[in-house]
Chains A and B, each alone.
Chain A
Amino acid sequence: MRRGGVARYAAMIALAVLALLPLYWLLISSIRPAGDIFRYGGRFSWYTLIPGRLTFENYAELTRGDFPLAIGNSVLVSVVTVVAALLINSMAGFAFAVFRFPGRATLFILVLASFMMPFESIVMPLYTLIRFLGWTDSYQALILPEVASGLSIFLFSQFFAAVPRELYEAGRIDGASWWQVYWRLVLPLSGPTIATAALMQFIQQWDAFFWPIVAASSPDKVMIQVAIARHANMETANWGGLFASASVSVMVAALPFLALQRYYVRTMMHSGGK
């Protein structure tokens, strides 16, 4: 068993390194002088991995611009989206899993189809709709179109369908309303599903790029991916700024993942192997 454990850890560490190496390159490129970023690429040397000269100017530069605002905006938009989304998508998933009602199968298929159409093809009608509602350059425009999510509904419906029917029946027999069954009885059991759905929609908003540009381009609503992209221009590319802002973005986005780890660990505590 000990040997299996060591091999397992070795494999996990190797994979983690493989995943992290490019991000590590991103990070050290952001603390190098601009001229050094490409100097050591052509031929591998220690300097490729370990910067000879350090500079934190790129990060200092970021604090002087609109980058902090962009982080704030993206965090706000992502968090609000996730909170609202968890509620309404889990409710819909519950309905699909638990009830039999006319049109259920058709509606479910339509819900799935909603994430199979490329976003770029619906951006123009969406933009027209947002204009019509008077929502251009607003937080609503950034948040609301992303709250309802077919994928999230699908995820929740699977979870609720996996819960034994007896549990629902027991709750109803005890006189609980359907809302209480949902809110008090089953939702608390869905920890990992909530965590997964939250992460899924958080990343979607964190990665948002084209929609924020089209719908809310005013400087005070700047979102993080747009702020990062502005470092690459036609005539000059600020690689250092690009890498620094990208590194910060990764570090901030990693936090929810780290925080939600425990939802997976807790339920695993009982499986001891042996």
Chain B
Amino acid sequence: MRAKWVPFAFLAPALLGLFLFRAVPILLALGGGFTGTGLTGETSFQGFDNYTSLASDPEFWNSVRVTLVFNLIINPLQVVLAFLLALLMAKPGRGVGALRTAVLLPITVSIALTSVMWNLLLDPAVGPVNGLLRSFGLAAQPFFHSQGQALPSLIAICTWRGVGYWMFFMLGGLSAIPPEVNEAASIDGAGPWRRLWHITLPLMRRSFGFVLIADTAANFLLFAPVYIITAGGPDGSTSLLMFEAYRAAFTLLDNGRSLAISTVILLIVAAVATLELRFFRADDVA
């Protein structure tokens, strides 16, 4: 009952934009992973050379490991915390709007500035956080300067910044649940835990799916804090893949290697996202 072109009319402007400003550059970048660049700029086809050299590079595998560990922790952590926060802040009330905004404010600080700021706050010598610890008689912590604490500190500052932001997406999902559904269930005698588990959560699957996928993409692509604070250390403990790609391009001046690593990131994120999509059946379209 509709003309064949109608869906494409709706899609056209956005797809044009994505094609021009994403698809074409991405394809070029993917192709670039198979090339090497000579000193004076000539690119030459090198097949899988970049990939084989990555496969035999222990630093690359260390990055893969660190990145996977980082993401396995931070993504579920942030999604769950965002949901809990949303539950806490869902009910309207005096000043709740201001409290929600307060919790969300950290996202307005750019990731670069967040890194600079926390680098100072957690500084072993002049940081107020250690100052606070010292005044309680506790030992000052090395935070970003210790192999054991660097990655957890990274997770902490990213969570500080992001959790209020993701909470908003969860709030949107919660607000779409008609209150009658919960009321009916509680009249039927269902306690708060049962209502949460059997009614709220299933109705939140799209929100969970969206937040998890968006957050996964953002965290796999993260590198600014590593670049600004830790330079991948100490001893490679914060060497995220994206940082390695950046380093390959701008320090080792090896474009081919950088693009190969970026391709690996894309493949991993796509694979993880597909799993997440399947799990939450959040795609509705596949």
Give yes or no for direct A-B contact (beta carbon below 8 Å): yes
Cβ of A207: which chain B residues have Cβ within 8 Å of it? 110-111
Instruction: Take A117-B26, A206-B108, A254-B108 as given contacts and tell me if A22 and B121 are in contact as well, using a CB distance cutoff of 8 Å.
Output: yes
> For chain B, which range describes its interface: under 10, 10 to 19, 20 to 34, or 35 or more residues?
35 or more
Alpha-carbon distance between A13 and B99 when the two chains are bound, in angstroms = 7
Nearest Cβ on chain A to B14's Cβ, whole angstroms: 4
Q: Which of these binds chain A: B48-56, B64-72, B146-154, B213-221?
A: B213-221
Cβ of B16: which chain A residues have Cβ within 8 Å of it? 148
Residue of A nearest to B269 (CB): A116
Instruction: Take A270-B179, A271-B179 as given contacts and tell me if A22 and B117 are in contact as well, using a CB distance cutoff of 8 Å.
Output: yes
The reply to whether B175 and A25 form a contact with Cβ atoms under 8 Å apart is no
The reply to whether A148 and B284 form a contact with Cβ atoms under 8 Å apart is no
Nearest Cβ on chain B to A211's Cβ, whole angstroms: 11
Nearest Cβ on chain A to B20's Cβ, whole angstroms: 7
Instruction: Enumerate B107-126 residues with CB–CB distance to A below 8 Å.
Output: 107-113, 116-118, 120-121, 123, 125-126
Q: Determine chain A's interface SS by DSSP, over half rule.
A: helix
Cβ of B102: which chain A residues have Cβ within 8 Å of it? 16, 19-20
Indicate whether A154 reaches chain B with its CB closer than 8 angstroms: yes
Q: How many residues of A contact B (CB 8 A)?
A: 104
The reply to whether B17 and A144 form a contact with Cβ atoms under 8 Å apart is yes
Indicate whether B275 reaches chain A with its CB closer than 8 angstroms: no
Indicate whether B24 reaches chain A with its CB closer than 8 angstroms: yes
Alpha-carbon distance between A43 and B133 when the two chains are bound, in angstroms = 9
Alpha-carbon distance between A26 and B164 when the two chains are bound, in angstroms = 19
Cβ of A23: which chain B residues have Cβ within 8 Å of it? 105-106, 109
Render A108-128 as a binary contact track against B, CB cut-off 8 A, 1 for contact. Answer: 111111111111111001100
Cβ of A20: which chain B residues have Cβ within 8 Å of it? 102, 105
Alpha-carbon distance between A122 and B27 when the two chains are bound, in angstroms = 9
19 new A-B contacts, CB < 8 A, other than A107-B15, A116-B269, A154-B214, are A11-B88, A15-B88, A25-B128, A41-B131, A43-B135, A91-B10, A95-B7, A108-B283, A110-B23, A112-B273, A117-B265, A118-B265, A121-B258, A148-B14, A178-B10, A254-B101, A254-B108, A261-B101, A264-B100
| Chain A positions near chain B (C-beta within 8 angstroms) | 5, 8-9, 11-13, 15-16, 18-20, 22-23, 25-26, 38, 40-45, 48, 87-89, 91-92, 94-99, 101, 104-105, 107-122, 125-126, 129, 144-145, 147-148, 150-151, 153-155, 157-158, 161-162, 172, 178, 182, 192-193, 195-196, 199, 203, 206-207, 209, 225, 228-229, 232, 242, 246, 249-250, 253-254, 257-258, 261-262, 264-265, 267-273
| Chain B positions near chain A (C-beta within 8 angstroms) | 1-2, 4, 6-8, 10-11, 13-18, 20-26, 28-29, 32, 85, 88-93, 96-97, 99-113, 116-118, 120-121, 123, 125-128, 130-132, 134-135, 160, 164-165, 168-169, 171-172, 175-176, 179, 182, 206, 209-210, 213-214, 217, 220-221, 223, 242, 245-246, 249, 258-259, 262, 265-266, 269-270, 273, 282-286
